[in-house]
Amino acid sequence: MTDNKLSRRDVLKVAGVAAATVIGLKVVKPAQANESAPTGGRQWAMVIDQNKCTGCGYCVMACRAHNDVSPDITWNPVFEAGQMGEKTVYLPRPCMHCAKAPCVEVCPVKASYYRPDGIVMMDYERCIGCRYCEVACPYGARSFNWEDFTGSNPAVPEWGEPEVDRRPRGVPEKCSFCYQRIDRGLALGLEPGVDMDATPACVGVCPVGARLFGDLNDPNSNVSKVLRENPSYRLREDLGTGPRVYYLPASAEKKEA
Amino acid sequence: MPKNSHVKLVTPWTLWLGLMGLVLLAGLGAGLLVFWKGLGITNLTDLVPWGLWITIDLSSIALSAGAFSLCAGVYLFGLKRYQPIARTATFVGLIGYTMAMLALILDIGRPDRFWHALIYWNEHSLLWEVTMCVMLYLTVLVFESMPIFANFEWLRKRFPKLAHTLEGVHHYAPILAIIGLGLSSLHQSSLGATYGVIKARPFWFKPEMSVLFMLSAIVGGISLTLFASMLAGRLTKKAKINDALIEKVAQFVGYLLIGYFYFRAWDALATTYTYDPGRSEGLHVMTKGPLAFNFWIGEMLLGMIVPMFLLLYKRTRQNPFWRMLGLFLVAAGVVAFRWDLNISGFLVVMPFVPGQEIAYTNYSPSLVEFLSGAAIVAYGLTAFSLGVKYLRVVDHSLVEEEHETVNIRTNETVAV
């Protein structure tokens, strides 16, 4: 009968094995899992030239119209980044589409995920609205739908027509690099970054051509060329998130020229 | 009703239930309003997306930690005489975890999709891990509480067989204690790590977060159980407490407090000697800014130092009033810690534009948040008092039969 009795010692043994198993699982799992965005195929990136940006805000409006963004939310705000001589330097901030995106890592239900082309996407049908992604994003790129967006979009039709569904109340939303324009354009045989119908709306609308879009894996794409030939930086590079949005810093000589 | 006229309607008990009923009704209204109108009627913003409800959620889970730690003590480390206290703690835990669930359902933007976490797994996410552990542990708590529900007089009379079955579950108490210990160790610390892994918020981003959450949960959880037991013992004859037993555990809490104080103080000190942008500002917000009173008085003085004295000094510990006060302060201090911790990370707004200054924001809960939050607490208080009255939740004279005859062949399953 003693064999059938559960002694304290046995219990602790079981506990030990159970704990070791759990710890083992926890250690092994992440190493096998995909830890950052895929890097093959096309890798979309955006370059924003701060020498050219005048802070006109057309990109904000085009984004609002094409993605049907509520007036309470801005996917792509333009900030003042300082003065250069007499001119103000601006910094537009879309989603950085990080290669190691904190929002993707922390989402409990994988509602945020990497597309094969590096775009960080949101599945608005899966999201439970916990807002952990918002807490984790270093760029404030996510906005929560605190209210229902009903009624008309003031940016439509002047700045474009909505190409995607409105997001429901209770989920965060963010810039998607206008994935719908890229996908539709590729299906039509267009080249994103070259043909504006296949390029994010903010790029096409910019009156001074401050934004470039293209494939980082293609050495001949306009973004690859510009990044090869000019100094550039990314926001909060110290965090190791690997943003796909590059900035060409404003320089005094270029401003004067 | 002339026949019942000899039954007194206005008693402290009915008054208490009436008061709780009012709070529950108001909170129910507020909660329904939130579901109907959405989170826009709260004071939460994109800068402070987690507020009062998350604090209630974190605190409920922390203060439920008495269940796993006392069950582990009783069933795994052989401290059998504390079993009656572990029973109370289990019931407190069951209440606490359901409170946390209620707070979460309010807090998430899409409560209709709460089950997604069970279907769509992101094993990278601390929050996913916490959700899974909490769900599983709540199941464990339901099983652990079955023998308690078997004490319901009505159930015993009406369904004696069912009551007997429920009672029999306590034979599995050691196994449940193992699972509970594992799951709780995971999610109590993971809740801290939920904050600790956020690199974008330097004031949170540190490894000791999980240690602090775990330790404070054990300290606060045991304290709340002891306090609730003593309070019940003073208010009703239904609760029978063994004061010597409680005093012994209270002394243990006093020693644990020293450990908690050590870690918390070092945590604050270590943050002092860093000039990482955002860290110093976070510390400033906590020690000199809007959270200073909470931190110095709520957490440090009243939450740790005073109760440390009250629980370790023999004369105050032996005095039920001072002991109760000490235990209550510990639990309240843990709630203050959760509030400070959550809010401090949000109040400092880190810049991402080069050269931009660090900014500050603020948050105070709206009326709907308060009312619905109060109702969650009222639900907990009501459930506990019903438990005391009808389920002998606080009854130290109730001793379960021995549980050592569990028919599990551990020797065969454990290969060492």
3-state secondary structure A4-31: HCCCHHHHHHHHHHHHHHHHHHHHHHHH
Q: Residue A185 is which amino acid?
A: G
Query: Which of B90, B76, B69 has its CA nearest to residue B410?
Result: B76
The two three-digit tokens of residue B221, written as one number = 């959880």
Q: Tell me the pLDDT band of B267, cut-offs 50, 70 and 90.
A: confident
B106 touching A (Cβ < 8 Å): no
**Global confidence as pTM:** 0.88
Domain A34-256 is of which CATH architecture?
A: 2-Layer Sandwich (3.30)
Q: Find all residues with CB under 8 Å of B14, minimum gap 6, and list them.
A: none
- pLDDT over 90, % of chain B: 82
- Give the CA radius of gyration of chain A: 23
The pLDDT tens digits for B238-259 are: 999 999 999 999 999 999 999 9
pLDDT, position A28 = 42
Q: Tell me the pLDDT band of B101, cut-offs 50, 70 and 90.
A: very high
Q: Which of the two residues, B122 and A21, has the higher pLDDT score? A: B122
User: What gap in Å lies between CA B250 and CA B327, rounded to an integer?
Assistant: 7
Query: Are the CB atoms for B191 and B32 separated by under 8 Å?
Result: no
Measured between beta carbons, the chain A residues lying within 8 angstroms of B181 are: 15
> What domains sit in chain B, N to C, each tagged with a CATH number?
14-399 (1.20.1630.10)
Asked if residue A42 has pLDDT above 60, the reply is yes
Cα–Cα distances in angstroms (integers) from residue B327 to residues A222, B194, B245, in the given order: 67, 27, 14
Cα–Cα distances in angstroms (integers) from residue A35 to residues A237, A241, B124, B128, B200, in the given order: 18, 12, 9, 16, 18
Indicate which of B36, B110, B114, B172 best probes the interface with A, i.e. most A CBs within 10 Å of its own CB.
B110
Cα–Cα distances in angstroms (integers) from residue A14 to residues A6, B330, B413, in the given order: 10, 33, 8
pLDDT, position B113 = 95
pLDDT, position A26 = 47
Per the DSSP assignment, residues forming a β-bridge with B369 are none
User: What gap in Å lies between CA B164 and CA B156, rounded to an integer?
Assistant: 8
The pLDDT tens digits for A71-119 are: 999 999 999 999 988 899 999 999 999 999 999 999 999 999 999 999 9
The pLDDT tens digits for A188-224 are: 999 999 999 999 999 999 999 999 999 999 999 999 9
Cα–Cα distances in angstroms (integers) from residue A157 to residues A68, A152, B273, in the given order: 11, 10, 55
pLDDT, position B143 = 95
pLDDT, position B274 = 75
Query: Which of B263, B135, B140, B118 has its CA nearest to residue B192?
Result: B263
The distance of Cα B1 from the centroid of its chain, to the nearest Å, equals: 42
User: What gap in Å lies between CA B221 and CA B223, rounded to an integer?
Assistant: 5
User: What gap in Å lies between CA A90 and CA A50, rounded to an integer?
Assistant: 6
> Which helix (H) or strand (E) segment is B281 a member of?
helix B279-287
User: What gap in Å lies between CA B380 and CA B21, rounded to an integer?
Assistant: 12
Beta carbons within 10 angstroms of residue B354's beta carbon: 14
Q: Tell me the pLDDT band of B413, cut-offs 50, 70 and 90.
A: very low
B49 touching A (Cβ < 8 Å): yes
Structure ipTM: 0.90
Average pLDDT value for residue range A18-31: 50
User: What gap in Å lies between CA B49 and CA B346, rounded to an integer?
Assistant: 8
Measured between beta carbons, the chain B residues lying within 8 angstroms of A110 are: 120-122
DSSP H helix total and E strand total for chain A: 8, 9
Per-domain residue ranges for chain A?
A: 34-256
Query: A254 vs chain B: nearest CA distance in angstroms?
Result: 19
Query: Are the CB atoms for B97 and B67 separated by under 8 Å?
Result: no
User: What gap in Å lies between CA B161 and CA A31, rounded to an integer?
Assistant: 50
Q: Find all residues with CB under 8 Å of A226, minimum gap 6, and list them.
A: A47, A49, A212, A232, A248
pLDDT, position A8 = 58
pLDDT, position B268 = 84
Measured between beta carbons, the chain A residues lying within 8 angstroms of B114 are: 128
User: What gap in Å lies between CA B359 and CA B339, rounded to an integer?
Assistant: 20
User: What gap in Å lies between CA A211 and CA A200, rounded to an integer?
Assistant: 10
Give the residue from chain A lying closest to B200, CA to CA. A138
The two three-digit tokens of residue B395, written as one number = 């009854």
Q: Which of B33-42, B98-107, B275-284 has the lowest mean pLDDT?
A: B275-284
